[in-house]
Amino acid sequence: FGHIVRGFTPNLHIEARSQVVKIETFIQERVNSNPNLHFVVLVGYSWGGGDVYEVAKWLTNESGLKIKIAASVYVDAVTLQLGTAENRLPPGSQSMLNIFQSKQLDASWLLGGGPITDSKEIKPVEIDLDKKENTADHGNIDEIAYQKILDFIHQKIIVQQ
């Protein structure tokens, strides 16, 4: 568990836990080399949403880094272990955007996100792209969600020059 292989194309497998370790290493190197870095925004699509949860858990509970999670974003996020909807709030997130599709246009895509079920600390912004009409599937939701993600991030950060 925690080491499932994602992807079904020969020679292009990515081991789920190894990807999270690469993300954690990248963050640690950036924080250590830049003492003015105090916040991070985590964004993940599909299994990348599962990565967001795992990296947030690491940052909050294990990393020892003095960095806060300004925002987390899920786009049709699925868990790393089972491929089911990632519906847990990422630990330590000060704000959350969760974009998902509730209906499937293409029955061959079994993966898909869903609403957050444990949002006691903060109220996430939840966007079901299929609430009014069936406009998204797991294969195109990242392109459809792009501008919504940028708008959310711009609301959460101030770039100092």
Secondary structure (3-state) at 78: strand
Tens of each residue's pLDDT in the chain, 161 residues: 333 444 444 454 455 567 788 888 899 999 999 988 889 999 998 888 889 999 999 999 988 898 999 999 999 998 877 778 888 999 999 999 999 987 754 444 456 788 888 877 789 999 988 776 777 777 778 888 899 999 999 888 765 54
pTM over 0.85: no
Q: d(Cα 82, Cα 134) in Å, to the nearest integer?
A: 25
CA quadruple 144, 39, 82, 18: dihedral sign: positive
Number of alpha carbons in the 13 Å side-chain half-sphere of residue 80: 21
Q: d(Cα 65, Cα 67) in Å, to the nearest integer?
A: 6
